[in-house]
Amino acid sequence: MTSLVSVIVPCRNEAAHIGAFAASVLAQRLPAGLALEVVVADGRSDDGTRDRLAALAAADARLRWIDNPARTTPVALNRAIAAAQGEWIVRMDVHTTYADDYVAQCVQALQDTGASCVGGPWRAAVVDDGVVAPAVAAAFGSRFGAGGAASRRLDHTGEVDTVYLGAWRRDTLLRLGGFDEALVRNQDDELALRIVRGGGRVWQSAAIRSSYVPRASFLALFRQFWQYGYWKVAVIRKHRLPASPRHLVPFAFVATLTVLALAAPWSGIAASAGAVLLAVYATAALAIAAVPMPPWQHPWRWLAVAWAFACMHAGYGLGFARGLLDHVLRRRAGAQATTLTR
């Protein structure tokens, strides 16, 4: 008997990438007894993506596309889940490349572990030999950059608090109510948190292999992590507790520096404490950046990795601070945080 696995894909303005992505996912190697369908939820693209999707669907009946008028990721995912017909649901994103057994490994892990959600490590790809992209990729995969998250450890197999992308049984997603559509970002983390708080397990398998293409500029990296920090407040507010204490560290760092800077004109102790805190952070960032990018071999990339750490941590901390203002005091999301960035 053949079992169907549905790949669900949120998409918006991906005309330059959707063709290569579709070719990759449709070339997945599946074991006997497993068939594939791909459901792309397009968020009202205006760059020609919809025409490309129509052509791809006409060329291969395994691919379908549906409309996502809300233009946000959680709505795209829920609409795709509703349209999917498979017993298994595997999420994919366009800006990621996948091993040709990615879908098969996801289904195998779900069967072997009995976990409610499975996925692979969040591996950052190096897309060119310049300075910025390799530095961002190195920072993204660093335990210092990610706060020690197990989902960035490429060799880790076992229980985690969240995974990259994710795969589930369809009935599990329906029972959980799908993704929280109020969360523009972090909806995957929130779903994983619901699973764990409900007694289920989230499992990472190192055999589930993919490579994510990170942001190509420091400003884009900062904006990405600003949104992560901003929407983490909404997740914490919903569950009354962070999934991990590490989610609070960047905000604590930024808040402490801000208080010390404001007090510095009137207090020498505050000025000295702020300078020491910055020096300690800079020393740690430069020392850890030297592991993937030794300064005697890659001096500019070494400095760029350290700067990428700062963009990630400052972006997250400042986004978290703004999230506290909007979600806790104003009780509504600000307009600048509801548009996804790339």
Cβ-based neighbour number of residue 266 at 10 Å: 8
Is pLDDT of 130 > 70?
A: yes
Q: What DSSP letter does each residue of 76-118 carry, written as one string?
A: HHHHHHHH---SEEEE--TTEEE-TTHHHHHHHHHHHH--SEE
- Average pLDDT value over all residues in the chain: 88
pLDDT at site 342: 46
pLDDT at site 336: 55
Rg, the chain, Cα only:
21
Q: Average of pLDDT values for 314-325?
A: 91
pLDDT at site 216: 78
pLDDT at site 107: 96
Instruction: Report the relative pairing of strands 88-91 and 164-169 from DSSP bridges.
Output: antiparallel
199-225 confidence digits (pLDDT tens): 999 999 999 999 888 877 899 999 999
**Element at 141 (helix H, strand E):** helix 132-141
Q: Average of pLDDT values for 254-267?
A: 92
Q: What DSSP letter does each residue of 5-33 carry, written as one string?
A: EEEEEEESS-TTTHHHHHHHHHT----TT
Helix axis angle, 132-141 to 218-239, nearest 10°: 20
Confidence at 242, pLDDT banded by 50, 70, 90: low
Spatial neighbors of 18 by CB under 8 A, at least 6 apart, are 11, 40, 49, 52, 53, 56, 94
Is pLDDT of 191 > 80?
A: yes
Q: What DSSP letter does each residue of 287-324 carry, written as one string?
A: HHHTTTS-TTT-HHHHHHHHHHHHHHHHHHHHHHHHHI
Confidence at 337, pLDDT banded by 50, 70, 90: low
Give residue for tokens 């190697």: 29
The tokens describing 91, both together, are 């999420």
Q: Which range among 162-176, 206-220, 291-305, 319-333 shows the weakest confidence by mean pLDDT?
A: 319-333
Is pLDDT of 335 > 70?
A: no
Percent of the chain with pLDDT over 70: 94
pLDDT at site 134: 87
pLDDT at site 255: 92
CATH of 3-121+156-214 among 3.90.550.10, 1.10.10.60, 3.40.50.1950, 1.25.60.10? 3.90.550.10
Is pLDDT of 339 > 60?
A: no
Confidence at 95, pLDDT banded by 50, 70, 90: confident
Torsion from C-alpha of 237, 243, 249, 255, nearest 10 degrees = 0
Predicted TM-score (pTM) above 0.75: yes
Q: How far apart are CA 329 and CA 237, in angstroms?
A: 12
Cβ-based neighbour number of residue 300 at 10 Å: 13
Q: Average of pLDDT values for 26-33?
A: 92
Confidence at 184, pLDDT banded by 50, 70, 90: confident
Confidence at 243, pLDDT banded by 50, 70, 90: low
Confidence at 258, pLDDT banded by 50, 70, 90: very high
Is pLDDT of 338 > 60?
A: no
Task: Locate the domains of the chain by residue range.
Answer: 3-121+156-214, 223-337
**Element at 132 (helix H, strand E):** helix 132-141
